Amino acid sequence: MTMPGEFTYRRIHRASRELLFDCLTRPEHLTHFWGPAGTTTPLDGITVDLRPGGAFETVMVNAEGNQYTMRATYVEVRRPDRLVWTEPDVEGGMTTTITFTDLGDGHTEVTTHQTNVPAAVADPRARQGFETSLRRFDEYVAGLASRRDG
């Protein structure tokens, strides 16, 4: 059974680790693909301060012109092996870890691992920073309880 709120996504791309790392960390690349689907990510809305503690922000604009801002902070920046950022405002704290593995034939495996609240709560060491999500989940579970009692 997978722990709730955690997943790993693997993809093989035809490019070097360096280029893939740059694609995920340079505004002039990010603007071409960051998405999500149905949105654009204008170059002037992308902030990359590529160092631990530095900001990673993107403004995504959908067809109706609505904007959604992703605010993240880099945790680990190790070109071309590993990139980690956290989004403290998302679901009580979400961490994204991207690792780049050279497959030796001009291809690179990119592994994206994301965790949010439940998995973090399952880890006692990570528990402290997640009170917001606990509250959110709490409200949800309380809602279940009142429905059941009602």
Partner 1 sequence: MTTPTVDHDLSFTFAALADPTRRAILTRLAAGDATVGQLAEPFSMTQQAISKHLKILERAGLISRGKAAQSRPCRLVPGPFDIAAEWIDRHRQIWQDRYDRLDAHLSALRSGREEQTT
Binding stretches for partner 1 (CB under 8 A)? 1-7, 9, 11, 13-15, 19-20, 23, 29, 32-37, 91, 110, 112, 114, 116, 118, 121-122, 134, 137-138, 140-142, 144-145, 148
One-character DSSP codes across 85-132 = EEETTSTT-EEEEEEEEE-SSS-EEEEEEEE-HHHHHHSGGG-GGGHH
CB 100 within 8 A of CB 17: yes
- How near is the Cβ of 142 to partner 1 at its closest, in Å? 6
- How near is the Cβ of 65 to partner 1 at its closest, in Å? 20
Closest to partner 1 by CB, 51 or 149: 149
Comparing CA positions, the residue from 82, 105, 104, 107 lying closest to residue 95 is: 82
- How near is the Cβ of 45 to partner 1 at its closest, in Å? 16
